[in-house]
């Protein structure tokens, strides 16, 4: 049994008698029936994450609406759970996501659409759903939407030139031009284009990137200042959508975001302007509410590195391989006092980048051991592929608790 808690343990995700429990369940019990790889999500954690965020905004008096960014995880039972919970709408970025949200029971009025490189067939879908709110990401989209839907109320996605996220690859604005949103130098042109196209701009939208933490609040403040200046020149715009992107601690040294400070910043810049705020969290709601169970099949030293091979690969959870954001690896059984060794966890895809965790310290592992990868609820199943025809996995939503 391990006496000292690991830094990431929390009440609903911790070792009890040396066995990893999630929401009161021994995670090993989920493996026996169907095997691995298997994602397990905990609905109550998603709810708590959403409520924490909303409570922070409410405590600062920020009038707001929340939209879950369904791109992070579209598992049908999860989306249905959120509909029944009734505390958020859906942020969609494609016709498929609009249909998926509608099938789970979300009304058009509960859906906000913000897409990029929007095609004519995407616009066909938006035209068929007049109650869906649309944030336009380009002048081209404004022009083409206006031809189809004169009189519609829209939002404009703005790129303020400042981004934030876990690392450079996950910042959606910065020194290098990105494809997202309309830059400030063309903002007035976008407003004029909307006016000519008989579209009414009622929302501004921005999204700084994915995974910003406590140390990014200064950058967020600068973004809000720039957005505030745009709002001052257009007092008819009454809503600001601040996108998603809030991150969770991935390593012990990460600085957690202080949601009270975050909300106070938003209040300081928006409440005095009387602007209603919208948020689109994806990963923040689901990331730490999901684990991926895998089984060790190979333990072998190669070239001085101990590789631990498992039965899932970067095709099922690609964040570490594509964005170098680390997963936490937790053996489902952990015996107290066991010596630690440095290992690299390798997936089962024939690509050199298929390493799920590099040079991590774990108790000695053996073939047949079960592991959980933590902080994998978002952008795992939703962005998985059938690379090497190893696209099979199972998903399970834990609902049976308070």
Ligand X SMILES: Cc1ncc(COP(=O)(O)O)c(C=O)c1O
Q: 25 or 100, CB closer to ligand X? A: 100
288 binds ligand X, rule: CB under 6 A: no
Q: 35 or 96, CB closer to ligand X? A: 96
Tokens 């257009």 belong to which residue?
Answer: 234
Q: Side-chain half-sphere of 93: how many Cα atoms within 13 Å? A: 17
Q: 22 or 113, CB closer to ligand X? A: 113
23 binds ligand X, rule: CB under 6 A: no
By CB under 6 A, what part of segment 78-117 binds ligand X? 91, 114
Stretch of 12-20, 23-31, 275-283, 350-358 lying at the interface with ligand X (CB under 6 A): 275-283
Task: Name the 3-class secondary structure at 296.
Answer: strand
207 binds ligand X, rule: CB under 6 A: yes
Tokens 């910065």 belong to which residue?
Answer: 174
CB of 346 to ligand X, least distance (A): 27
User: Alpha carbon of 266 to those of 62, 141, 247, 262: distances in Å?
Assistant: 8, 28, 17, 7
CB of 363 to ligand X, least distance (A): 32
Count residues binding ligand X (CB under 6 A): 15
* 134 phi and psi angles, rounded to 5 deg: -120, 130
181 binds ligand X, rule: CB under 6 A: no
In whole angstroms, give the CA distance from residue 171 to residue 13.
29
* 287 phi and psi angles, rounded to 5 deg: -55, -55
Q: Which of 282, 290, 313, 331 binds ligand X (CB under 6 A)?
A: 282
Q: 210 or 348, CB closer to ligand X? A: 210
∠ CA 278-279-283, nearest 5°, is: 165
- x/- mask, ligand X, residues 27-66, rule CB under 6 A, reads ----------------------------------------
CB of 114 to ligand X, least distance (A): 4
Q: 193 or 325, CB closer to ligand X? A: 325
Q: 21 or 205, CB closer to ligand X? A: 205
For residue 171, give the DSSP letter.
B
Q: Side-chain half-sphere of 250: how many Cα atoms within 13 Å? A: 24
Q: Which of 37, 95, 163, 243 binds ligand X (CB under 6 A)?
A: 243
- Please report, for the chain, how many H helices and E strands are present, in that order: 11, 20
Tokens 């600068």 belong to which residue?
Answer: 222
In whole angstroms, give the CA distance from residue 337 to residue 321.
32
Q: 319 or 349, CB closer to ligand X? A: 319
∠ CA 280-90-320, nearest 5°, is: 55
CB of 79 to ligand X, least distance (A): 15
Stretch of 95-103, 145-153, 276-284, 345-353 lying at the interface with ligand X (CB under 6 A): 276-284
∠ CA 394-398-400, nearest 5°, is: 145
- Give the interface with ligand X as residue ranges (CB under 6 A): 69, 72, 91, 114, 207, 210, 243-245, 280-284, 378
């Amino acid at each position: 049994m391990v006496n000292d808690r690991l830094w990431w343990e929390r009440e609903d995700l911790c070792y009890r008698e040396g066995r990893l429990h999630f929401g009161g369940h021994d995670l090993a019990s989920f493996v026996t029936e169907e095997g691995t790889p298997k994602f397990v999500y905990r609905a109550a954690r998603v709810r708590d994450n959403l409520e924490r965020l909303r409570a922070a905004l409410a405590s600062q008096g920020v009038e707001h609406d929340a939209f879950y960014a369904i791109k992070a995880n579209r598992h049908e039972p999860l989306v249905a759970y959120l509909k029944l919970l009734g505390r958020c709408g859906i942020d969609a970025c494609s016709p498929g996501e609009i249909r998926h949200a509608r099938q789970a029971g979300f009304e058009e009025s509960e859906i906000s659409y913000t897409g990029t490189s929007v095609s004519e067939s995407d616009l066909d879908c938006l035209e068929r759903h007049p109650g869906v709110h649309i944030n336009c990401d380009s002048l081209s989209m404004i022009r083409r939407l206006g031809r189809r839907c004169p009189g519609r109320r829209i939002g404009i996605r703005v790129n303020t030139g400042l981004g934030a996220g876990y690392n450079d690859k996950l910042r959606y604005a910065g020194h290098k031009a990105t494809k997202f949103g309309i830059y400030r130098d063309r903002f007035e042109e976008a407003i004029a284009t909307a006016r000519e196209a008989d579209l009414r701009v009622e929302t501004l939208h921005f999204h700084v990137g994915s995974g910003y933490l406590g140390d990014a609040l200064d950058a967020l403040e600068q973004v809000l200042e720039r957005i505030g200046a745009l709002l001052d020149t257009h007092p008819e715009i009454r809503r600001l959508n601040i996108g998603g992107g809030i991150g969770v601690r991935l390593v012990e040294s990460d600085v957690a975001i202080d949601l009270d400070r975050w909300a106070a910043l938003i209040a300081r810049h928006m409440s005095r302007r009387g602007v209603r705020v919208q948020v689109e969290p994806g990963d923040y709601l689901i990331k730490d509410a999901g684990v991926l169970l895998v089984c060790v099949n190979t333990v072998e030293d190669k070239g001085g590195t101990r590789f631990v091979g498992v039965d899932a690969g970067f095709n099922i959870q690609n964040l570490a391989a594509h964005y170098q954001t680390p997963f936490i690896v937790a053996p489902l059984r952990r015996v107290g006092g066991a010596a630690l060794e440095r290992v690299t966890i390798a997936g089962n895809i024939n690509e050199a980048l298929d390493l799920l965790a590099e040079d991590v310290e774990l108790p000695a592992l053996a073939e047949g051991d079960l592991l959980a990868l933590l902080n994998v609820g978002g952008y795992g199943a939703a962005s998985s592929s059938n690379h090497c025809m190893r696209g099979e996995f199972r998903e399970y939503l834990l609902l049976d608790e308070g």
